[in-house]
Amino acid sequence: KTEWWYFTGNVDAANGDRFGYQLTFFRQGIRPPGERDPNMSRFVVGDLKFAHFTVTEVAGKRFKFQQKTSRGAFGEAGFGDGERLAWIDSWSLQMDADGVFHLHADSSDAVINLRLQSVKPPAIHGANGVSAKASAEGHASHYYSLTRLSTTGTLQIGGAEHRVKGESWFDHEWATNQLAANQVGWDWLSIAFTDGTELMLYQMRLENGTADPASSGTWIAADGRTEHLVSSAYTMVPTKWWKSGGSAANYPIGWRVEVPELALQIEVRAAVKNQELALMPLAYWEGAIDVTGTRDGKPIKGRGYLELTGYAGPLRELQR
């Protein structure tokens, strides 16, 4: 029912200024494929298209976000299998013949024009590409990532344009019914460590505040090999909270994460406290993070993104 193409990244300007960004294209099924008659009115569409765009300026502690929504009745939004993979108005995701992604998004506050080239093979999450979200049948997604994309281009915020370079993360995920009746949201993070490894973890939160045992993660080695991590293989404990003045949601923006089988202990900190997308019908927090810690007793550090949903209201309300 829902599919998303998700990009986040941490990039730096020549003067050392750091920025984060997110650009995600979604489509949500309205009418099953078998019920889509090509002779029906163009206003009777099969999918609702929407997209989220954010830019974080770390030094200035500024966070800009925008959402676009369209039925795509006149071709102004859509998804393709050629060079243009997704678009909504002027925002676009394209992939050239060399497999390089090209991202463009603009708002009154920020603009990105970025080129992303993967330096590692795809990481397939879960069991054979099926990532469980609950113990009951049907609550799962197909999910893979490109965990390290070399990123160059330009980023503009507050009228100032910067040439930037850094690294990005790409997720492609699709599902029919991710959340179970007793789940309210999830905590998800992606980290690119300086030693060439990456980590993805998520915990589906239950109504009682605990993590669903179906939660999982993936460790990606420097050579691209992956290791599936079941929920009992790691712990995620909040260490710092930030309360939104808009939604009144209280978000855990600091975490202590341990993965004993990897001898990994890390501290996760938000690069900027306020990275909340105050959207309707439900707000969520998604932003750049810094990571420090140890692996096998040796110092390790990295950067990434943290996503926190269901704190401004149960996310399952959107599935109805």
**Number of structural domains the chain divides into:** 1
Question: What is the per-residue pLDDT for 23?
Answer: 99
Q: Residue 222 maps to which CATH number?
A: 2.40.370.10
Please check whether residue 153 is in contact with residue 111, taking contact to mean a CB–CB distance below 8 angstroms: no
Q: Which domain holds residue 222?
A: 2-38+46-319
Q: Which residues pair with 48 in a beta bridge?
A: 28
Q: Is the pLDDT of residue 319 over 90?
A: no
pTM: 0.93
pLDDT band at 127, cuts 50/70/90? confident
Give me the pLDDT at residue 243, please. 98
- pLDDT digits over 4-55, tens only? 999 999 999 999 999 999 999 999 877 555 555 565 555 556 688 999 999 9
- Mean pLDDT of all residues in 295-316: 93
Q: Is the alpha carbon torsion for 244, 317, 22, 149 positive or negative? A: positive
Could you tell me which residues come within 8 angstroms of residue 245 by beta carbon, excluding any fewer than 6 positions away?
none
The CB density around residue 211, as the number of other CB atoms within 10 Å, is 17
Q: What Rg value do the Cα atoms of the chain yield, rounded?
A: 19
Residue-wise pLDDT tens digits, 49-90: 999 999 999 999 999 999 999 988 889 999 998 899 999 999
Burial 169-200 (b: 16+ CB within 10 A, else e): bbbebebebbbbeebbbbbbbbbbbeeebbbb
Of residues 185 and 2, more confidence is placed in: 185
Residue 252 to residue 194: CA distance in whole angstroms? 24
